[in-house]
């Protein structure tokens, strides 16, 4: 449990799609543990920052990384001030971060267009990893974004060199040598852009070898580190008989418990949370006591006190629980914008 004299915040990043003509909201906001209004954070950030990724150091909650449309930024004081991280990335948008579970000095950042950078010294120096995989030929729906973005990176706790990336309109990629080489895990499941539109990947800490991936077509599970996948039956929410899944997280310190954010589609009037208490063998829809009116997009835990958790829709709604998801509080609306693309708390 976090002590009463420790600072505690919820961080919200506004963003949007990067395809031409798509709406984009901007800004990074913070809400204190007992705050009643959102605070705009801007000192040192680029003008009108689109924040599509947020991560907090697992043992130093004052250190935060934010992924913007011009690369990553870092704060060492809970977001009061920011500075550009020196990554040789040509200023591309950042969509994901990962602190390696074995060593928090090893940090990964996922980019457009399917690029991953790594630091082994806490973020001082970075190198681009050779992500040069071939993606299977698929049929893409009219108007779909052809850019391949690394929306989530995952690492195995039992096999430190085993890494995964969830690529939007690309599928799941895997490295078995710490990121030096990568492969695409296709296995014949690619029929159209639904089944390759992957949003998240999770390597189970409770049962090594089991991996989950989520995306537009719902959830897939592998029992052999990603060599083979099977579709996980979940309650369908749209006419295709699917459920749109966006974020997946294990509860810190209790990897038997897994949460997933979902909805009927990318934009919908239905937002739901899914919860598994048995490592992903069974899933239940959570009764929040609220009816989110947009697709549930993001989820975050306080690493120091995992009973404290928050979730957010891509329509600007933010909810928090202080009792591990048993009950939920709706936060006040954000001052501007609705497109929440990143969420963190510590």
**What would the pLDDT profile of 240-260 be if each residue is shown by its tens digit?**
999 999 999 999 999 999 999
Pairing of strands 218-222, 271-276: unpaired
- What pLDDT is attached to residue 3? 46
- Tell me which H or E stretch contains 27: none
Q: What are the DSSP calls for 223-248, one per residue?
A: SSTTSS-EEEP----STTS--EEEEE
What gap in Å lies between CA 89 and CA 95, rounded to an integer? 13
Task: Give 25-55 pLDDT, tens digit per residue.
Answer: 999 999 998 778 999 999 999 999 999 999 9
Sorting pLDDT into bands at 50, 70 and 90, what band is 189? low
Query: Among 109, 119, 92, which residue's Cα sits nearest to residue 151?
Result: 109
Query: Among 33, 28, 24, 31, which residue's Cα sits nearest to residue 54?
Result: 28
What gap in Å lies between CA 153 and CA 142, rounded to an integer? 28
Asked whether 214 and 248 are in contact (CB, 8 A), the reply is yes
Percent of the chain with pLDDT over 90: 86
- What pLDDT is attached to residue 250? 98
Q: Bigger pLDDT: 71 or 186?
A: 71
What gap in Å lies between CA 173 and CA 151, rounded to an integer? 12
Sketch out the chain's domains with CATH numbers: 9-345 (2.130.10.10)
Q: Record the pTM.
A: 0.96
Q: Within the chain, how many helices (H) and strands (E) appear?
A: 1, 28
Q: Look at residue 174 and tell me whether its pLDDT is greater than 90.
A: yes
């Amino acid at each position: 449990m976090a002590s009463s004299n420790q600072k505690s915040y919820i961080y919200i990043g506004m963003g949007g799609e990067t395809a031409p003509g798509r709406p984009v909201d901007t800004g990074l906001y913070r809400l204190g543990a007992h705050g009643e209004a959102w605070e705009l954070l801007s000192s040192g950030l680029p003008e009108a920052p689109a924040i599509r990724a947020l991560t907090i150091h697992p043992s130093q909650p004052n250190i935060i990384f934010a992924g913007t449309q011009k690369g990553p930024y870092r704060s060492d004081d809970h977001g009061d001030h920011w500075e550009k991280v020196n990554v040789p990335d040509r200023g591309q948008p950042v969509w994901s971060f990962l602190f390696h579970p074995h060593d928090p000095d090893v940090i990964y950042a996922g980019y457009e267009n399917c690029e991953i950078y790594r630091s082994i010294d806490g973020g001082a120096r970075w190198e681009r990893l050779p992500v040069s995989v071939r993606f299977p030929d698929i049929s893409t729906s009219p108007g779909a974004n052809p850019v391949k973005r690394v929306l989530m990176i995952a690492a195995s706790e039992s096999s430190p060199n085993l890494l995964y990336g969830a690529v939007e309109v690309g599928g799941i990629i895997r490295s078995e040598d710490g990121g030096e080489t990568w492969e695409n895990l296709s296995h014949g499941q690619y029929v159209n852009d639904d089944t390759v539109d992957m949003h998240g990947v999770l390597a189970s800490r409770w049962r090594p070898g089991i991996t989950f991936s989520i995306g537009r077509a719902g959830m897939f599970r592998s029992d052999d580190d990603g060599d083979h996948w099977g579709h996980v039956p979940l309650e369908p929410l749209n006419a295709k008989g699917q459920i749109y899944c966006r974020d997946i997280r294990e509860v810190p310190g209790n990897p038997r418990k897994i949460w997933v954010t979902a909805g009927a589609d990318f934009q919908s009037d239905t937002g739901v949370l899914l919860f598994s208490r048995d490592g992903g063998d069974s899933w239940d829809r959570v009764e929040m006591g609220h009816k989110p009116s947009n697709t549930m997009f993001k989820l975050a835990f306080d690493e120091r006190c995992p009973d404290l958790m928050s979730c957010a829709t891509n329509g600007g709604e933010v909810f928090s629980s202080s009792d591990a998801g048993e009950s939920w509080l709706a936060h006040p609306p954000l001052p501007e914008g609705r497109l929440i693309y990143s969420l963190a708390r510590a």
